[in-house]
Every structure is written in structure tokens, then in C-alpha cells.
Chain A
């Protein structure tokens, strides 16, 4: 009987340790604490080219993450990318003339949306659109421009 009690206690500890490890993995080793934050208000930005921007990419202002990219869609009347940004509810004062640009973090990192505040006294409301946006830099276009410039500069001599 005592051996049975011992066995049951050990199995109980084992199951608790396994579930505890799973819990630690979920909380500390994953982004679970950030999920389920479906609170936040949407803002819409239209870009000519979003490059490698993905949903759930960060939206930053002054380098601080204030939201995430929620949806990426394509408008086939104006041929622009329509990106829905979800901004955390605590950041309510984003001026109406804020610009949205797509930058790359580091050299090989993933792309994110950076907001630069304008000077307007009015703030953006949910589902407002950004008036000025800057698309992502496409490497091939930059190389093409550089070669064109180099060829043009060399040819005129």
C-alpha cells in the first residue's frame, strides 16, 4: 500500500512538472502574453509597394512599438496596397498629418511600419487614412537607379 502511495505521488509530480514545463514554454518562450490583445483601433495606410511587410509586423513611433500590422489587402482600382494598422488603445493622440513609412530593422531584418508625428492639432480617429506614406525600398530599383546614374555620369564625359 505504501508503495502504491509513493507511486501515485511520483506520477502526480511528473504530470505537474510536465504541465509546468509546458506552461513555462508558453509564457516565457513564446509570444503568448502578447496574443489575445485584440484591443486597439485600426488606422489605414496606402502604399505603392509594401516590399516584404507581413501581418503582425511591428508599428513603431519614435522606435517604441505602439501597434501591429493587422491586415494587408490590395485595391485593384487604384493598384495600391491597403494596410490596416492596429494601434494600442492607450495611444490615442496620433496627429492627423502623421506619415507612415516602411523601414527594415537592421540589414537583413524584417520590415516594420514607422510613424513620424506631424504637427496637426487634430488626432486620427479609428479607420482614418494616413495622408502621406513612404513605400518600402526595393533593392533592385535602387541598383537600377545607381547604374543609370553611373552610366549617365560616365557617358557625358
Chain B
């Protein structure tokens, strides 16, 4: 009967964690107004979460765009449709790859850093020290990081998509001989601002909220040992990546039908 008991325990602890996570999100949202007089905290966090992720996002965007250009050309040239290479690269990036790949890279780089930082604060008792001084650790530590992640994600996704389209242009027009005028004019005819770009921005905001929420919650809820912090970091990357992919399917089904 021991296995039944442990099954029940893990089931209950799963729901307990789920509930704790959502109550944590509520306390973050309740603490949002406290960020207004503390702009400096937000700027600091946007630097550590957004600016320091720029390198990987730009390089990844460039290479993803270039690969899309290469593979797209190879496939389209069989149908005589290589003039549509620009549309293929632009739509793939703006609708899907921009938000999703940026979110996955963001979860790996910034999400793991956030979880490790907050987990380590908990393990070295800095968070309880703050509570002793009547400083709310959620408002002081968690809310700036959450808002920084939420604001950085759409910016990073836009940079990814723009750099990717440039990469596709370099490969398609520069290397493979697609006509430059056809490349841009087809893109401008087929990519719709409201249906494609705005939807992509909405997706990246949703992904930013989910990834940052999972990262700060895993850090805040970590077991305060070194093993606990390590586990929190890996859980952040795994859970955030899965959540992003699942949420992407739901959002795509809702937005593009």
C-alpha cells in the first residue's frame, strides 16, 4: 500500500504547488503598483534580463533567418516559387519562430539566472532578513524581475524577427540570387500588420509573463539548499519551455484559423 500512499502524496503535492504558484502570481500582481516609485530597480533588472540576453538573441535570430532562407529556397525552387522566399521567411519568423524561439532562449538564459538568483537569496536567508526589516521581499525582489521579463520579451522577439528577416535577405538575395524587389514587395503584400505582427507581439508578451512567472516562482519556492537551487534552475528551464510550447499551440489555434 506504500506505493498508493506515495502516489497520493505526489498528486496532492502537485496540486499544492500549482495553487501556491497561482497565489504567488496574485501577490506579484498586487505588488505591481509598488514598482512605480522604484524605477531604478526596474532599470537594473531590465539590464540584467534584457540587455544581457541581446547577444544570444541577435546571433540566434541571424542564423535562424539564414537557415530559413537556405532551406526555404531549396524547397521553393522545385515549384518555381523562389520569389516567395521572403514571404516564407518573414511569416515563419513573425508568427511563430520569433516569439517561440526567443522565449525558449530567454527561459534558458534569463529564466535560469532569475531562478538561481532568487533561490540563492532564499538559501542564504536574505529573503527572511528582508522580512525582518519589514521590507516585503516579493515587492522588493520579485516584482521588478517579473516586470522586467514581461517587458523585455516582446522587445527581444521583435529584434529576433527583424534580424532573422535580414539574415534571410542576405542568404536569399545575396547568396542565392532571389530578386531583391520581389523579396520585399511580396513580403509587404502578404504580411498583415494586425493579423501577423500584432499577434506575434501578443504571443511574446504572453510567453514573457509565463516564463518569468515560472522562473521567479521556482526560485522563491526552492528548497533552500544548494541541491534545491540546482533543481529549481533545471525545473525552470524545462517547465518554462514546455509551457511556452503548449501555450504557443493554444494561441496559434485561437489567433490563426
User: Chain A contacts of B190 at CB under 8 A?
Assistant: 31
Quick one: which of A14, A22, A30, A32 has the most chain B CB within 10 A? A30
Which of A4, A15, A26 is within 8 Å of B193, CB to CB?
Answer: A26
Contact with B along A64-105 (1 / 0, CB 8 A): 000000000000000000000000000000000000000000
Are B188 and A33 touching (Cβ within 8 A)? yes
Which of A14, A24, A28, A30 is within 8 Å of B54, CB to CB?
Answer: A14
Q: Is the interface of A mostly helix, strand, loop or mixed?
A: helix
With A25-B94, A25-B162 known as contacts, the answer to whether A31 contacts B188 (CB < 8 A) is yes
Residue B43 interfacial (CB < 8 Å):
yes
Which of B152, B161, B189 is within 8 Å of A31, CB to CB?
Answer: B189
Contact with B along A8-24 (1 / 0, CB 8 A): 10110111011101101
The smallest C-beta distance from A34 to any residue of chain B, in angstroms, reads: 8
Are B197 and A17 touching (Cβ within 8 A)? no
Are B191 and A7 touching (Cβ within 8 A)? no
The smallest C-beta distance from A129 to any residue of chain B, in angstroms, reads: 28
Count of residues in B whose CB is under 8 Å from the partner chain: 32
Binds A, one of B45-53, B120-128, B237-245: B45-53
Residue A62 interfacial (CB < 8 Å):
no
Residue B155 interfacial (CB < 8 Å):
yes
Residue A143 interfacial (CB < 8 Å):
no
Who on chain A is nearest to B50 by CB? A14
User: Chain B contacts of A29 at CB under 8 A?
Assistant: 90, 94, 161-162, 165, 187-188, 191, 197
Who on chain B is nearest to A22 by CB? B158
The A-contacting residues of B in range 137-189, CB under 8 angstroms, are 152, 154-156, 158-159, 161-163, 165, 184, 187-189
The smallest C-beta distance from B224 to any residue of chain A, in angstroms, reads: 29
Are B44 and A7 touching (Cβ within 8 A)? yes
With A29-B94, A30-B191, A32-B193 known as contacts, the answer to whether A21 contacts B43 (CB < 8 A) is no
Q: How far is the CA of A33 from the CA of B189 in the complex (A)?
A: 10
Residue B136 interfacial (CB < 8 Å):
no
Are A31 and B191 touching (Cβ within 8 A)? yes
Contact with A along B188-204 (1 / 0, CB 8 A): 11111110110001000
User: Chain A contacts of B44 at CB under 8 A?
Assistant: 7
Q: How far is the CA of A25 from the CA of B159 in the complex (A)?
A: 9
The A-contacting residues of B in range 85-137, CB under 8 angstroms, are 90, 94
User: Chain A contacts of B152 at CB under 8 A?
Assistant: 14, 18
Given A10-B51, A22-B154, A26-B197, 6 extra CB contacts under 8 A: A11-B43, A17-B155, A29-B162, A30-B196, A32-B193, A34-B188
Chain A positions near chain B (C-beta within 8 angstroms): 4, 7-8, 10-11, 13-15, 17-19, 21-22, 24-26, 28-35
